[in-house]
Structures are given as structure tokens and as C-alpha cells.
């Protein structure tokens, strides 16, 4: 049935993956000691425009927003994985009549989500910090993790809970079949 608890967990997992597109993954803050300015930028799955960088540099003592598009950093592997995780989880909601296939789909979504989390924490955040021109900062940028980094981890928890719920249903149906 579609109104089982695992459907709720799967929908929550899809919502968590949607949060990845709305919230930044990480925020970076860099100091330019020679000019007394702070440069702020953030890593998003979908790059957002920032105000004109050259005009912001003219203002002394201001915080400067540096756009992700200026770095040329490509986040398409993360976007593809996030869409795949969301699509597989959403498709598995409607496979309630075939619990074995539903469990396999949830397992695939889980594995794709693990790859996504691995890429975020071990590749994207560091690679984006290196993509920012070194003339922009004197030292390594300070990284603050944002909601876009933690939403896929919460999605992993929801996928595990959904898998457990599907497994319980399958065990209950098999037990009922044995009694017949």
C-alpha cells in the first residue's frame, strides 16, 4: 500500500535531496589583508549570480560577494547524483506492490547517496576552495558547512528507515504465506 510508513520515509528522503538544490553546501570566507576586505562566497549545486565583483572591490572595508560562476567550478557530477537519488527514491514509492524490487531500488538510492556524500565532503568543498583565485585571499579560506552538506546525510537515514519498513512488510507477507 502506498500509505505505509516507508512511503513517508522515501518522500522525506526526496525532500532532503531537494534541499540540496536550495541551500548552499558550504560558505567560504577569505581575508584580503592588504585591502582590509573580506571576500565571501558559497558553493551551491546550481551556481547563483553575485553582484559585479570589480565594483565591489572599489568600496574599502566592505564584504565582497564572489560568485561561483567566476571560478568556473563545475558541480554537474553532484547535480546528476542528487537528481538520480531523488528520482530513484521517488520511483520506489510507487513500487509498493513489488517489495523486493522496491528494496533493491532503495538500496540503489542509498549507494548513490553515499557516493554523493563522499563527493561533497572529499572532493567538492576542497576543489572549490582551490578554484578561487589565490590573488583573492592571503591564506586558506575558512569553510563553514551549510544545510546543503547535511541534507543528504539525513536522506541516508530516511532511506535506511524506508528499507527497514519494506523489509518488515516483506517478512510479514512471507509469514502470512507460510500460514496458508
CA neighbor of 149 nearest in space, from 127, 117, 126: 117
CA neighbor of 81 nearest in space, from 131, 149, 157, 17: 17
Q: Are the CB atoms for 20 and 82 separated by under 8 Å?
A: yes
Q: What is the pLDDT of residues 58-103, one digit of tens each?
A: 555 556 666 666 666 778 888 999 999 999 999 999 988 888 999 9
Region of residue 61 (phi > 0: left; psi between -120 and 50: alpha; otherwise: beta): left
Buried b (16+ CB within 10 A) or exposed e, 46-71: ebeebeeeeebeeeeeeebbbebebb
User: Which own/partner contact pairs does 50-53 have at CB distance under 8 Å and 24+ positions apart?
Assistant: none
Query: Which pLDDT does position 38 carry in this prediction?
Result: 77
Mean pLDDT of the chain: 83
Report field, pTM of the whole predicted structure over 0.85 = no
Query: Which pLDDT does position 46 carry in this prediction?
Result: 80
Domain segments of the chain as ranges: 5-179
Amino acid at each position: 500500500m502506498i500509505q505505509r510508513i516507508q512511503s513517508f520515509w522515501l518522500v522525506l528522503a526526496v525532500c532532503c535531496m531537494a534541499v540540496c538544490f536550495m541551500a548552499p553546501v558550504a560558505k567560504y570566507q577569505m581575508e584580503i589583508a592588504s585591502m582590509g576586505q573580506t571576500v565571501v562566497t558559497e558553493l551551491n549545486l546550481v551556481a547563483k549570480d553575485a553582484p559585479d565583483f570589480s565594483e565591489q572591490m572599489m568600496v574599502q572595508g566592505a564584504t565582497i560577494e564572489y560568485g561561483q560562476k567566476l571560478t568556473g567550478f563545475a558541480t554537474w557530477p553532484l547535480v546528476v547524483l542528487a537528481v538520480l537519488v531523488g528520482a530513484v527514491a521517488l520511483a520506489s514509492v510507487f513500487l509498493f506492490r513489488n517489495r523486493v524490487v522496491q528494496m533493491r531500488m532503495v538500496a540503489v538510492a542509498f549507494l548513490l547517496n553515499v557516493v554523493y556524500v563522499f563527493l561533497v565532503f572529499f572532493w567538492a568543498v576542497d576543489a572549490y576552495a582551490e578554484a578561487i583565485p589565490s590573488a583573492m585571499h592571503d591564506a586558506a579560506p575558512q569553510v563553514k558547512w551549510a544545510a546543503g552538506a547535511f541534507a543528504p546525510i539525513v536522506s541516508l537515514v530516511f532511506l535506511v528507515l524506508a528499507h527497514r519498513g519494506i523489509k518488515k512488510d516483506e517478512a510479514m507477507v512471507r509469514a502470512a504465506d507460510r500460514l496458508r
